[in-house]
A and B are shown apart, each in its own frame.
Chain A
Amino acid sequence: MNAPMNQSVGNNPYIPMMAEIQCVEPLTERETLFRVLLPEPLNHRPGQFVMVGLPGIGECAISISSGPDSGRTLEMVIRKAGNVTGVLHQLKKRDFMGIRGPFGSGFDLNDFRLDKGNKDIVIIAGGLGLVPLRSLIIPIMDNKSDYGRVHLIIGSRTPKEALFRQQIQQWKQLPDCRITELVDDVDFQDWDGEVGLVTEPIHKLQLDEKNTQLVLCGPPVMYKFVLMEIKMNFNIPDEKIFVDLERRMRCGLGKCGHCQINHVYCCKDGPVFRYSRLNDLPEALG
Chain B
Amino acid sequence: MNAYITDLNQIESWFFKLAEKQPFFLPIKTEGINYRFEKLNDVRENNEQSFPELLSYKPTLLPPGKNIFPDGEILFSYYKDEQGHYQFTQGSNIESQIISGIRACDLKGIHLMDAVFSDGIKDIHYLQRREKTHIIAFNCMTPCDEHCFCEAAGSLDFQTGADIFITPLVEENKFLLEAQSSIGIELIKTLTASECLNPVELKEQALSSRPAPFGRQFVEPIEQVSKIIHQYDADKVYQQYAERCFSCGTCNLVCPTCYCFETKDEFELGNDLSQGRGTKSRHWDACLNPGFAEVAGGHNFRADPAARQRHRVRRKFDYLPQRFEQTFCTGCGRCGRQCTTDIDIFDIVNDVCSSVSETVAQELDK
Contact = CB atoms under 8 A, between A and B. Distances in A.
Interface of A: 1-5, 8-9, 11-15, 18, 53-60, 79, 81-82, 85, 96, 98, 219-220, 246-248, 250-251, 253-258, 260-263, 268, 283, 286
17 contacts: A12-B91, A15-B88, A58-B265, A59-B265, A79-B296, A219-B297, A246-B299, A255-B121, A255-B259, A256-B261, A256-B285, A257-B285, A258-B285, A262-B314, A262-B319, A263-B314, A263-B320
Given A55-B86, A56-B275, A257 B287 contact: yes
A220 B299 contact: yes
Nearest to B116: A255
Contacts, number: 134
A263 B319 contact: yes
B120 A258 contact: no
B29 interface: no
Interface of B: 75-79, 85-91, 116-117, 119-121, 123-124, 259-263, 265-267, 275, 277-280, 282, 285, 287, 292-297, 299, 301-302, 307, 311, 314-315, 318-320, 322-323
Contact of A15 (B76, B121, B292): B76
B301 A286 contact: yes
A283 B218 CA distance: 27
Contacts of B319: 260, 262-263
Contacts of A56: 78, 265-267, 275, 277-279
Contact of B259 (A8, A13, A15, A257): A257
Most buried by A among B263, B277, B287, B318: B263
Given A57-B265, A248-B295, A263-B314, 19 more contacts: A4-B87, A4-B89, A9-B89, A12-B75, A12-B76, A13-B124, A15-B88, A56-B78, A56-B265, A56-B278, A59-B265, A219-B299, A247-B293, A248-B294, A255-B261, A256-B260, A256-B285, A263-B319, A286-B301
A102 B278 CA distance: 24
Contact of B120 (A247, A253, A257, A261): A253
Q: 5 nearest interchain CB pairs?
A: A257-B260, A56-B267, A56-B278, A263-B319, A81-B296
A254 B319 CA distance: 13
A253 B121 contact: yes
A5 B77 CA distance: 11
Contacts of A96: 85-86
Contacts of A256: 260-263, 282, 285
Nearest to A250: B263
A258 B259 CA distance: 11
Contacts of A246: 295, 299
A243 to B, nearest CB: 14
A8 B90 contact: yes
Nearest to A248: B295
A246 to B, nearest CB: 6
A250 B292 CA distance: 11
B266 A18 contact: no
B301 A220 contact: yes
A247 B295 contact: yes
Nearest to A84: B265
Contacts of B88: 4, 9, 12, 15, 55
A98 B202 CA distance: 59
Contacts of B119: 254
Contacts of A12: 75-76, 88, 90-91, 124
Nearest to B319: A263
Contacts of A11: 124
Contacts of B296: 60, 79, 81-82, 85
Q: Which of A1, A15, A57 gathers most chain B CB within 10 Å? A: A1
Nearest to B123: A255
Nearest to B277: A1
B117 A255 contact: yes
Contact of A247 (B75, B123, B262, B301): B301
A55 to B, nearest CB: 4
B121 A13 contact: yes
B280 A2 contact: no
A30 to B, nearest CB: 10
A286 B262 contact: no
Contacts of A263: 314, 318-320, 322-323
A256 B279 CA distance: 18
